[in-house]
Amino acid sequence: MKTLYLVRHAKSSWKDTSLRDRDRPLNKRGKRDAPRMAEFLKEKMACPDTFISSPSRRTQDTAVNFLHAFGLLKSDLKLEEGLFHGDERDIESVIHSLSNDHQSAVLFIHNPGITDYANELTNEDIFNIPTSGVVGIQLETDDWKQINQCRAKKLFYYYPKGLDLPTL
């Protein structure tokens, strides 16, 4: 069994229009929601074996909140260019590259790729995974390369507005 966690980056800022898309930081709501979701999820799941992020600033900033919640450092985060606005095939390619020594992985990615891939993998019909949303998926395989050929079951789907989270 493998477990995959898909995390959409927290809400980003459009305040500075001179920034490239990949350089946009989190806005006030994103800075509030990312640590709240990370702390909430720390209570729901074991620490994933690997953390992989799109190289965009907003996904890395989101990921750092999760790393800190699990007692890890930013240096524990792997960056993958293919996750920057990647589609389902790009996301799957990153997953296929995972070592089978890893039983669980968390990917910090963008929409629409996250929603499309979660729905494709689980046969669910999630309309839109909002910012800071997380989907946990259990995969009935021992080989990451076989994930599109195995049974995949949604374990959970959480997002900030759907939870009554305390302010940190």
- Binding-site residue set for substrate: 58
- d(CA 18, CA 85) in angstroms, rounded, equals 20
Q: In 107-136, which positions are buried (b, 16+ CB within 10 angstroms) versus exposed (e)?
A: bbbbeebbbebbbebbeeebeebbbbbbbb
Q: What are phi and psi of 2, to 5 degrees?
A: -120, 155
Indicate the annotated binding residues: 58
Which residues, 6 or more positions from 100, have their beta carbon under 8 angstroms from its beta carbon? 142, 143, 144
Contact predicate 154/137, CB 8 Å? yes
- Other beta carbons less than 10 A from residue 32's beta carbon: 18
Q: In what order do the strands lie in the sheet with 134-139?
A: 77-79, 50-53, 104-109, 2-8, 134-139, 152-158
